[in-house]
Every structure is written in C-alpha cells, then in structure tokens.
Amino acid sequence: MSYTLIITEKPDASRKIAEALADSRPKVIEKNGVNYYEFTVNGKNHICVPAVGHLFVLNPKNSDTKEWSYPVFDLDWIPTYTRRGTEWTRKYFKNIQELAKNASEFVDAADFDNEGEVLLYNILRFICGVEDAKRMKFSTLTKEELIESYKNMDNHINFRMVESGLTRHFLDGLYGFNLTRALTLALKDVNPKGFTILSTGRVQAPTLALLLEREYEIRKFKPTPFWELQLYVKMNGTEVIAKYEKDKLWDKNEADKILHACKGRDAIVKDIKKKQYKQPPPVPFNTTDLQTEAYNQFKFSPTQTMSIAESLYQMGAISYPRSASQKLPPTINYEKILRALATFPHYKEFVEELLKKEKLVPKEGTRTDPAHPAVYATWEVPDVKKLTPQQKKIYDLIVRRTLSTFGDEALRESMNVILDVNGYKFIVVGKRTIKPGWTKIYEPYITTEELILPDLKIGQIIKVLKLEELAKETQPPGRYSQGSIIKEMEARNLGTRATRSEILQTLYDRKYIVGKSISVTKLGEVVINALKKYCPKILSEELTRKFEEEMDLVFNGKKKREEIIEEAKETLTDILKEFKKNEKKIGEKLLEGLQEARKEERRLGICPKCGSELRIIRSKRTGLFFVGCSGYPKCNKVYPLPRMAKIQAVGKACEKCNTPIIQVIRKGKRPFRMCLEPNCPTKVEWK
C-alpha cells in the first residue's frame, strides 16, 4: 500500500492533524513504543507520523574528548539518538525510516519557522531520501485551520527558512564547539588531573558579559544620602500623605530648616489641578512579551513559560507561541474566538460587552512576523479540569490579554492638590478610574493606583497630623530578572525568540549565573574576564548582531549561507590564534575561578554558635556529606544533610533556630526548603 506520509514535529501535533483531516476516525498504530496514525482523506491513504524535535544534530567529525583540538571546522549532521542521554529518540527515527519506504509523497507539517523547517528538511534528506515535500502552514492546531492548511498546501518546503536556519546552526556549532574546546583545553593544561568542560558560544558570551557589566555597576555603586519630607493630613476624614515639592533634598540642613519652619503649622489648599487621560489597551503577546509577563506575574522562567505555552499550543488552546508579531489579523475570526471563550463563566461578561461593539478591532503593536500572528487564545477551548495549575495560569493570562486587546480605552483622572505650609509647598496626588475599559478584563495582572480625594476648595485649611523627615540613600541599579534580561537581549538583537530562553538556561546550567534576581558567579566572572583580556572579539555584541543581520539577508535571498559560514571561519581562526597564544594565562585564570566557584557552592551561611562560616564537607571515612563549621576545632557544630540530593544555599536564616535555610533538589521530585537544625520547631510535624 502506498500513501501520503505527513511528518510532524511532535506527537500531539500528529494526533491533532490526523483527527482533523481523516474521513473517519483515524487508526492508531503503536510501533516501537510510539503512536502514528493511518487514515484516508477523500478516500486517499495517509499516515501521519511524529518526530520529537530535532532528530539530527551537528557534531565535529573528531568528537573524542581525548583527542580534542581546535580549530575544528568539519561538522556533520548525526542522528540525535547517537548522543548520550538522547537514545530514546531512536524509536521516532525508526518509525519514520520504515514508513518512508512505501510513501508516494511527503508532507512537511512541522512548526512553520526556521527551526521547524531545518528539522524537517534533515528528516526528508537523511531518512526519507528526498530533498523536498509539500508544506502545510498553520499557526494553530485547531481543526478548521488544519483542514485549510491541508487544502492550500505549498508544493515545496520553504527553502529560504531552511537556508537561514542552517546558517544559524552552523554558526552556533562552529562557535560553540571551538570556544568550548579552547576553554576546556586551556583549563586542562594547567590542571591535567581534572577534566572539566567549560562552554561558551556565539550568543552566550555577549549575554554573560552583559550580566557581568550590571554586576560591576552594582558593586561599584556608592550610595548618596538624601532626605524626604512627608506631611500627614486629614481631608474630610481621609488620611493622606503629601510630599514636599522636591522629591529629594540633598542637603540635610535644608531639610531641617523646612521641617522646623513647618512644625505645628496647618496647611492651606493653594491650588487644585485635575487632568483626565486615557490608557489604551495592551497589544497582544509576542514571545518575548509573554515570557516577560509570565515572569512578572508568576515568576515562571522563560524556559518554563515556553514549555507550558507549547503544551497549550499542542492541545489547540493557543496559537503558535514562538512569534515576533504583535498583530492579530481578521482571518483568525475574532467573533468566533470570543464566542468560544464566553463558554467560560468568568469571561462571559467581558465577551458580551465586547460583542456589543459595532466592529471588533484589536489594539496592535508595531512588530510583525512573516510566518505567524501574535500569541492568542483560539476557539478550541480546553477542558480546564484537565489543565495543570501552571497551564491554567498561562492560559488565563493569554485569554485575558487576547480579550483586552479588543477592549475600550480606560479613562483615568489625576488630581494634584498643592498645600501651602508656612510658604512651603507640599503635593498630594489623587488618582481615580472614571471608566475601567480594558482594565476590568486584565485586572488580575495590573496594579491600578486609586486614591480618591474629597472635593476641596482653594483657601481651605487642612489639619496637619504629622510632619516627618526621612533619611534615605540612592539605590544601585537593580539586577536583571529572568524576564528583563530576555527583553534586553531582544532589544540588543542577541539570539532569537526561539533561542533566548535556552541560552539563559544554559548559563544557569553551566553555573555561570545564579538566582531569579540574576547574579554572576565567580566562575562566570572569571570566564568573561579571561576572554575580555585575551579574546575580546568573542564578547562582541556588534559581531553577534552582524551575523543576525546576515542571516536575515540569507532568508531574503541576498546572501549565500556558504559566504557567511566562510566569513565566520575566518573570524574564528583569528580569535583562536589569539587564544592559543595566551592559553596558559587563560587556563590559570579559569582554574582560579573554578576553585572559587566550588568553594562558593559549599558555603551555606553563618554558624549560629560562633559566627564562622558553615560549609558542606565530605566525610573521608563514610563518603557522606554533612555541614560543618569553618571554626573547627574551636567550634564543633555539625548538621546532617539529606542524601541523594543537590543542596543550594538560599541566603536566608530560619526565624526559629537561626540556622541557614537550604534548597533541597532531588531528581523527579519537587524542590523544597528547610533549615539545617533537625530539632527546629518548624520540623515538629515532620516527625
């Protein structure tokens, strides 16, 4: 039997496509532990089979760590299952391999972006033995869109996406393999007994350098003292705070003088200024906006957000979550989406209000994406009972954002009341909402400041309850959060919407950065400083941006992939020559950083008995880990540690026993926090 073979990027997509296209219920076939689907479309035989992400990865021809050298420019595509830890992908590979033998034609149904197109192109040429296929293009996995996508298939895959995607893979591979080998071998030369892989990459290095730059700004910051004056007054029974007209007073003598002059005096209403202003609805989410908002609201990491969003996309509940667009075209059928969302009681009221409009027009941003619209909730509403708590949060966020874009402007009013106290001006700022508009829909995710002031008259005397002088200091710049660094990477054109979260996660995995409020570790600092001193070109944002722009030229057919890869090889050759000259010095710096990083990992906090440092120690006798005091032998304080777990300091002490609190991480289990003292009152119920 011959058939059309449709190949998807993931298993859920295969199921959704089969169910959408089949003349009748598709037949589920299980082979090698993986499901694929047999069905007919208008009587013609079809099989839909899934991959599971990339089934091929780039690898240097000489990848044995014992024989590593650099530069290495000879890269090959190899099956992913040949890599340690990814053997499970073999079953997907085998199914496609077997099914390809009897296929009369092939259909590419991967996600429609550069990564999806490279993924499928490699499957077609290396497994199926063909260089082209028909192409289904869709932004949601809803039944209607999949049927339309099938009916209007392109006759060819998108070779512009293929070329641009292949260029990125080779650039990232060339940089990643060469720089990782260079760093690792430099360290090995000065520490032959140990073998620690240190990695960096084309986008990793500039991103880490950017984070370190902020780290240094914080360290170098010197606070400047200033003073604030606050006046507590009662207005028609409402107690409010009025602030002196200058936010900051840099001279304490001036602050004291005003304080003395105003003490015991009443305030007089000198002026009242009212102003109405409109707040337009938000634009729909693109990938970066979604990652940033999910971090701000739920503290979900960008990687976690994309994983959750991907699961909602696979079930058809939202559109494709990797998009640069802030636009919602009319073709997505606004009214149909809104009516479907109205089946949820908590959205019904909002939808009914929106459908009263003469015309549904979403508020849109400026960013576009040739492949996909913005991220939106579809008309295929999920069974909320089957969603995880995390999925519910991201789904509600996307639904409310989708609905909000169709909302009316909010109308707000500010009221500035200027008070005169013995010739000195203090200001009270009142704010109120006149018409909530879209803010009523998005209310769980916005903070609206409301201070409704009573009706006042100029010349009215106001009773002063208290006058305070507050001593404060200027604060250092804030650390980047996981949300704000993704936004900053986008602004600087570092990485892509699909790769930024992965790059950030890699920096965590390599122990170059720690914390939700991101700090650069000693190891990360030493790696960047060594590169900055001896190979600054690796850290160049300009070079990274240049390659990003050239990949766009490849996509637009204005430059050849081979041209850019050759240019990258020349650049890398110069960088690595410079690196080789200074290999020993770089190795010494890296070893120093690695040793300090390992010390950092062992530090947990302060000993409550003597004030020395508590550290993780390994027993020479038993091989087990415990916590001991660095003040030993004068202080013999010790604490047991949970076994088979990774232990992390959190920088806090228990309020009950004053021992450091640690995070305990076990594979396959939810992390938890506890203090070190086994007999702490907080653990009474544990027993």
Residues with catalytic roles: 320
Q: Which of 257, 231, 226 lies closest to 244, judged by CA?
A: 231
Amino acid at 21: L
User: For residues 305 and 295, is the Cβ–Cβ distance under 8 A?
Assistant: yes
> 323: how many CB neighbours lie within 10 A of its CB?
27
Amino acid at 602: R
Q: Give the tokens for residue 673.
A: 């926090």
Question: Could you give the CA distance from residue 312 to residue 371 in angstroms, rounded to a whole number?
Answer: 19
User: For residues 90 and 81, is the Cβ–Cβ distance under 8 A?
Assistant: yes
Q: Which of 610, 564, 685, 576 lies closest to 163, judged by CA?
A: 564
Instruction: Give me the phi and psi of 455, to 5 degrees please.
Output: -65, 130
Long-range contacts of 291-296 (CB under 8 A, 24+ apart): 291/483, 291/486, 291/500, 291/501, 292/483, 292/484, 292/486, 292/487, 293/397, 293/401, 293/445, 293/483, 294/393, 294/394, 294/397, 294/483, 295/481, 295/482, 295/483, 295/486, 296/483
Give SS3 for 409.
coil
Output the CA torsion sign for 245, 248, 250, 256: positive
Whole-Å CA distances, 651 to 51, 80, 670: 43, 40, 20
Which residues are within 8 A (CB) of 119 and not within 5 positions of it... i.e. 6 or more apart? 9, 51, 53, 54, 55, 110
Residue with tokens 């390992």: 598
Give SS3 for 472.
strand
Whole-Å CA distances, 68 to 72, 186, 363, 481, 602: 9, 12, 54, 36, 31
What CA dihedral angle connects 635, 636, 637 and 642, to 10 degrees? 140
Q: Give the tokens for residue 269.
A: 């209403």
Which residues are within 8 A (CB) of 505 and not within 5 positions of it... i.e. 6 or more apart? 301, 302, 303
The 3-state secondary structure of 501-550 reads: HHHHHHHHHCCCEECCECEECHHHHHHHHHHHHHCHHHHCHHHHHHHHHH
Question: Could you give the CA distance from residue 8 to residue 37 in angstroms, rounded to a whole number?
Answer: 12
